[in-house]
Structure 1
Amino acid sequence: MRQAKYRKILWVILLAELALLHLGVGVRLYVLRWEYPQVRRLILLFPIWAVGTLLLGLWQLGSYQRFRRKAIAAIATVEEGWIHSACEQAASEVGLLRVPPLYQSAAVTTPMLLGFLTPVMLIPDTRYSFGELRMVFLHECTHAKKRDLWYKLIFTVGSCIFWFQPAVWLLKNAALQDVEVACDQSVAVGRSEAERDAYAKFLLDSLRRGREKNKAYSAYFYNSKAVMRARLRVVTREQEPGFLAGAAAFLLLTAELVVCIGLLGVSIRRDVREEAYQQEAAVNQYLGYDAPDSFTDTAVAAMTGLTPVDGENYYNWRMNAMEQYPETEWADMTETVDGPWQLRVKTRASYLDAVSDFVYRYIMYYEDPERGSAYNPEESSGYNTLETIDRTLLAGDADEYVCRLLFRDIVWADESTADSLPVEGERYGENGTEYRYYNWAVHVKRVGEYTYELVGVAETEAVTAAFAEAYPEEAETAFISLATLDLRQQDRCRAATQDGVTRVTWDDGANWTEVPVSMEKLTARGDQMDGQLSGAQEKSYVVSDEVTAFAYGGSMEVPVAVTFTHDKGNNWKTITVTNEAVSVRRLFLNFPDAEHGFLIFTGDRTMHQEGSSVYRTEDGGENWFEVKPEQGYSADGGHSLLTGAAFVTDQAGFVTGGDGCYQTTDGGLNWKQLTVRVPAVEYAESYTVYYPPERQGDKLVLYLGMEEYSELGGTKLRYESEDLGQSWSYTGVVYRK
């Protein structure tokens, strides 16, 4: 490797190795290991790399274009025939078949080759002797023959792409030096001592005259002082120049290669082991084992043979179980487990923990036996996709029990729309993801010291009904706090704000129409809320096929107004409701039908009190008039902060807040407080928050919760009315979503 021409090959190999190394690591990190969050965060470095590469590349390209234009602008024809003869003779000596066109340019300070596809020879406007020009042309023609311009360009591009890698800059320096040294070695080979001395003298004179910074887009005769010294040592045969930069780059890349190969090897070995495990797990462990008795009358009957628990939830059960079974009592991991319907628990106090694992195994029995066979909760292998919403002990004890599991599972994009399970889950879309909701009772029995077996599965409603029939005396209190699933029917029409523009859709998102109200107006409020809203305020707009309307304003600059359309956005109209409200906090807009609408807005807040106004339209929003209540929802016109308001007909409406719930049956003229009986459920005293009733079919549904701002979510008491809220019947505890 003492010859520079061999080292040139080495530097290219090392650059290719560096590129392949980074490409391999990138593929490994960003593709094969994309499921790990810590790897996903590395993608944040991509914009930094891209910007650096782009800026460096543009700088190199701009430098080339500027120099090229400058050199061509000052170009002139070489008139002297002896100069052309010297160039042709040099090209013949080095074996260059096509002699580069020769020109003179006042913009260059050193002889050079310029251009990649059709290079030209440029010499400065300087006097040279025939011998000097012969040496110059020998050097530059050798560059042209070996296509060194392309060689230098490769390393410049590599430094732009891998600008963050110190080794590539060391490689580039070593490669550009060896390009010149290898060229001089080719020129000097076979020359006499006198010719070598003359060449060395000319190089030394060139070094005294000045130096030019080497570029990737040209081959200069003059180089930096370090390169010129290396060339002198080669020509005079004093010694082969060292290549410390190249050696450092070689060592860095070798060390990096060893480390990365080691890491990738460990990762590949882990993948091979995981693949082997998965292949082993791919053996269907369900073979020879039928599913437990499920969703049959016999399964329900087996469950009702146990003593019911009086509404004891999982938290209370957990506390009692931990007192009964100390945490120091850990499972004997050598205990035999027979088949997929048996599982071990860590402690006797955690016997209910096996329920969700059993249910997941049960679902996979029908949908993906290989995936279910690979699931092992003890080793945390496999992945349980079930999301438990509620887990409540219905009957039994630590030896045999029935547990209610309310849960949901993701419906994957490639999954068939038809459930493969014996019962179909209730499907519900949420934030772009579709779920299946289930409400099952799971029968489990202990068959070892720490081993439990799945005995059966049934619908929770069927099991609780069977318990009520078997234990009529306890029917009024048993499971009274057991929440049932109550999924809110989502509206097909909706509005969305993106990039400062609010749009509406009437075809479930297939097409969107912009609302002609600026974001400044739509979010303007007088109650120190400017800047707090990023779009239309919740419940301040209505989107339906008959009427779409947005209420906004209520500040010194923006009056309370309604912008509406009755023809799905073909024509919009804006009506000012009032100019007098300048400290509005909330707006509640309702259109029970296309003609009748109500706007309730609150303002003048003081601590936790505020006032409100009710406006009504009877012509679809063209005209609004204030409704002056004869009997309001407070004695002095003030009330606690309103959390909701809704009119379900042109006469019946409700408002909710800290004062409870008030209803009107005459369009807002008279209001009376609405109260319902709270049953003797667990935490009954906490159910104090009313939410505006909703119309569901031909009924009104009222929910009582524990928090003001969790209308859609959590446990609620549910009531129904068939007479527009005149009377209410309690239907049970529900889990809203």
Structure 2
Amino acid sequence: MKNAKWMLILFIFVLLVIAVVVQIRNQDEEQDEQVPEKQETKTDINGELPYTVQVEERDNKAETIAYRLWFDFMQQLKSDGTVANASFTRFTKISGDENSFVVAVIFQVQLPEGAKKTANSWGDPNENGVVSNLVWKLGIEKKDGLKYSITSIEKSDDTQIGLPPVETLEDYQKNLGIEDSTDKTAYRVSGSSLEITYNNGEDWQTVPVASEELFSSDRAADSSLREGSYVITPEVTAFVLGGQRDLSLLISNDKGKTWEEVLVSDKLPVLRLTLLGFTSGQDGYLIVTGDKTMSSEAHFIWKTYDGGQSWYQTGSVEYTHALVTDGGFVDNKLGFISFGEYRTEANPPEPNLYRTSDGGENWERVEIPIPEEYQGYFTQAEIPVFEGEKGTLLVNQGPQGDFLGGNVLAKFSSDDNGKTWSFAGLVDPDGVLIPD
């Protein structure tokens, strides 16, 4: 009887111990469910391949197709928690044909909250969990119809991959000897008075003109004059007047000591743009546009060979009524006018640049060979800079450009006074292609 009692007590004790152990284990499991483990990012990206996407019919460039695939692929990595976000810097075709090609993508990812911030397979993230300047070479193959597949991903450290030579804007200007804005000559508008200086602001003198007479009826709120409506040099200082049917210049050839108003024309439409310049103390040009309707307008060109005392009208670009975006002369014979973009139905837009070698009497269109991978991006030529017969031309992206931020320019060179041009690289004002 006594043994049976002790056996019962022992049995109850064992049951109590088991109950306590089970309760502790359940509590541990509940805590584990409440505190997630730190996420590990995938280390074998190629294990997700091949990855296939159907693109749109208009996607005919390798870079665009690669973007579609990459974007969809990154969305999948985002949905499974591998990354929190991703954005790209650029896509560049490296090699291949329309059926099989390699495109490099430079991009950055933001890791999800809770992911390990050190020894991460993506790289070294910053304090916000962002890993920058990632480089993948995407191997892409065309499948049936509009379907394409990423078949391989090769990681690289080359952030300049696939790029031609790239210059900063400062290096570009320095290499060409272009002076910056620290020139000694300048102007300022003080109330209703216009003042100029030839010694970097040590002395100022008043220009004998009322501000409302200047060709700048649409001047900015800071009273700045429109670029191209004035020239200030020790040899010649000139301001464009008028713009409502009549056009005159106020000119000084002795650093503002004396002034003369010279009539250029009194039979003009309402003007939109003036481009005034002097290539020497005696040789100058004036390109004006007006009578604007929608995306067309008239343009007129005058030349001077006596420091601006007299002007004569030279020829214009025949059968061309597009809006002028830039223009100027290199010397008294060689000149260029840019009419923005040239568009045809079957091709991407391209620069519409004209050249004269006889002072403006005759003009011919200049062919600018935009590389295939940049066609449709660089569309608007600026006026070239020359040293002897060697010229350098920049082509920008126009007002609607958004490629690499919209400010990267294509650079071209010429050895024959601008008759022919060849692609020479890119100019990167904002540093988007040249990482710190």
Q: Structure 2 vs 1, CA of residues 336 and 715 (structure 1 numbering), >3 Å: closer, same or farther?
A: closer
1:583 aligns with 2:274: no
Corresponding position of 2:156: 401
Relative contact order higher in (CA < 8 Å, ≥ 6 apart): 2
Q: Cα distance, 1:522 vs. partner?
A: 0.7
Partner Cα distance (1:508, 1:316) in 2: 53
1:486 aligns with 2:175: no
Partner Cα distance (1:394, 1:501) in 2: 59
- Match of 2:382, SS state, is strand
Map 1:311-460 → 2, pairs under 5 A: 319=71, 322-323=74-75, 325-327=77-79, 328-329=81-82, 331=112, 333=114, 335=116, 337=118, 351=122, 354=125, 357=126, 376-377=127-128, 393=135, 401-402=156-157, 404=159
Amino acid of the residue matched to residue 643 of structure 1? T
Aligned pair count reads 304
- Match of 1:326, SS state, is helix
Partner Cα distance (1:517, 1:317) in 2: 62
Higher-Rg member (1/2): 1
Contact 1:617 1:623 in 2 (8 A): yes
- Match of 1:685, SS state, is coil
Q: Identity of aligned pairs, percent?
A: 25
Q: Structure 2 vs 1, CA of residues 331 and 555 (structure 1 numbering), >3 Å: closer, same or farther?
A: closer
Partner Cα distance (2:301, 2:67) in 1: 45
Map 1:155-166 → 2, pairs under 5 A: none
1:648 aligns with 2:330: yes
- 5+ residue gaps, structure 1, are 1-309, 358-375, 381-387, 405-459, 465-477
Q: Structure 2 vs 1, CA of residues 312 and 589 (structure 1 numbering), >3 Å: closer, same or farther?
A: same
1:633 aligns with 2:317: yes
| TM-score normalized by the length of structure 2 | 0.59
Partner Cα distance (1:708, 1:484) in 2: 22
- Match of 1:550, SS state, is strand
Contact 1:555 1:582 in 2 (8 A): yes
Corresponding position of 1:543: 232
Corresponding position of 2:353: 661
Contact 2:377 2:397 in 1 (8 A): yes
Q: Which has the higher strand share?
A: 2
1:555 aligns with 2:248: no
Q: Cα distance, 1:565 vs. partner?
A: 2.3
Q: Cα distance, 1:671 vs. partner?
A: 0.5
Amino acid of the residue matched to residue 325 of structure 1? L
Corresponding position of 2:370: 678
User: Alignment partner for residue 257 of structure 2, among 570, 588, 596?
Assistant: 570
| TM-score normalized by the length of structure 1 | 0.36
Aligned-CA RMSD value: 3.9
Contact 1:394 1:479 in 2 (8 A): no
Q: Cα distance, 1:613 vs. partner?
A: 1.5
- Match of 1:571, SS state, is coil
Q: Cα distance, 1:495 vs. partner?
A: 3.7
Deviations 1:313-341 (A, max 9, x none): 9977962651452242355748474xxxx
Q: Cα distance, 1:622 vs. partner?
A: 0.9
Corresponding position of 1:360: none
Partner Cα distance (2:134, 2:322) in 1: 37
- 5+ residue gaps, structure 2, are 1-61, 83-110, 139-151, 343-351, 431-436
Contact 2:366 2:420 in 1 (8 A): no
Corresponding position of 2:394: 703
Amino acid of the residue matched to residue 135 of structure 2? L
- Match of 1:562, SS state, is strand
Q: Cα distance, 1:585 vs. partner?
A: 1.5
Contact 2:284 2:307 in 1 (8 A): yes
- Match of 1:633, SS state, is coil
Q: Structure 2 vs 1, CA of residues 618 and 500 (structure 1 numbering), >3 Å: closer, same or farther?
A: same
Contact 2:389 2:416 in 1 (8 A): no
Contact 1:646 1:653 in 2 (8 A): yes
Partner Cα distance (2:338, 2:317) in 1: 10
Q: Cα distance, 1:506 vs. partner?
A: 3.2
Contact 2:216 2:225 in 1 (8 A): no
Contact 1:501 1:519 in 2 (8 A): yes
Corresponding position of 1:728: 421
Partner Cα distance (2:416, 2:407) in 1: 27
Partner Cα distance (2:219, 2:234) in 1: 31
User: Alignment partner for residue 385 of structure 2, among 677, 691, 694?
Assistant: 694
1:609 aligns with 2:296: yes
Partner Cα distance (2:203, 2:134) in 1: 44
Deviations 1:564-620 (A, max 9, x none): 223332333221211222422211111111100111111222332221211111110
Contact 1:311 1:479 in 2 (8 A): no
Amino acid of the residue matched to residue 633 of structure 1? V
- Match of 1:681, SS state, is helix
